[in-house]
Amino acid sequence: MSSLVRPLRIILLGAPGAGKGTQTTRLLKRFPKVQSLSTGDVLRSQIAAGTRIGKEASDHIKQGALIPDTTMVGLVMSQLEQLKWLDPKASWLLDGFPRTYKQAIALDHSLDQNDCRLNMVVELDVDQKVILDRIEARWVHVPSGRVYNIDYNPPKVPFKDDITGEPLTKRSDDTAEVFQRRLDQYNKEIEPIKKFYSNKGVLYKVSGDTSDIIYPKLEALVLEKFG
């Protein structure tokens, strides 16, 4: 079982519900030296803690809208510093950021200044009709960000997290109406982001309709380039 021979700085792109959280959990288990940050999880914990950012984010999230770029860029930049991810030796995965072209530019600029460029951006390509069909079956464990699907990837005990046994909850933005808005938003923003990374030669795509189909392809891709 080989591990990574050089630092991995990876971003997962993909429509909401494409399984970014699930793929992240599986990658981290396989490559324990990689750390991860999900901006959605950070925002949900800020909301739970009632912070200023949490208050600002709450309405946007409920409506399926994006949080303004200045807030998001500020939040992610301070997390990059706190987590010491600007050290070129660190290996990490960002899930849910960037979601706009402006965010992509800001991230690139900050990494560039610290001599640690992104070296892999993977688009999880899942049929959006399939995503819409299964979104109402999605349940989450908010403290850890672990994601389950009652039909495809059920918890061992119904509605309980596998690791902590704590109750799972539904996300308030996982209703059909709000979800469609989030998908529309994704489709509107993603092309310039993909073009930006494609020009840098770091963009890859893995396709499939379930996490079990996508994961082996993703792992093989990481091993091919970094194993």
What is the total residue count of the chain? Answer: 227
What phi, psi does 139 have (nearest 5°)?
-125, 145
Nearer CB in complex with ligand AMP: 8/106: 106
Number of residues that bind ligand AMP (CB under 6 A): 17
* Interface pick for ligand AMP out of 30, 45, 53, 60 (rule CB under 6 A): 60
Kind of pairing between the strands at 9-14 and 120-125: parallel
- Rounded to a whole number of angstroms, the minimum distance from the CB of residue 227 to ligand AMP is 28
Region at 109 (left for phi over 0; alpha for psi -120 to 50; beta for the rest): alpha
* Interface pick for ligand AMP out of 36, 39, 91, 149 (rule CB under 6 A): 39
Cis peptide before 98 (omega within 30 of 0): yes
Site string for ligand AMP, 136-175 (x = CB under 6 A): -------------------------------------x--
- Which of the stretches 29-37, 96-104, 112-120, 147-155 binds ligand AMP when contact is defined by CB under 6 A? 96-104
Q: Is 117 annotated as a binding residue?
A: no
* Interface pick for ligand AMP out of 85, 182, 215, 218 (rule CB under 6 A): 182
d(CA 26, CA 31): 9
> Is 56 in contact with 70 (CB distance < 8 Å)?
no
Its sign, for the CA torsion 112, 25, 205, 136, is: negative
d(CA 182, CA 17): 10
* Interface pick for ligand AMP out of 96, 202, 204, 222 (rule CB under 6 A): 96
Binding stretches for ligand AMP (CB under 6 A) = 16, 39-40, 43, 60-61, 64-67, 72, 96-97, 99, 103, 173, 182
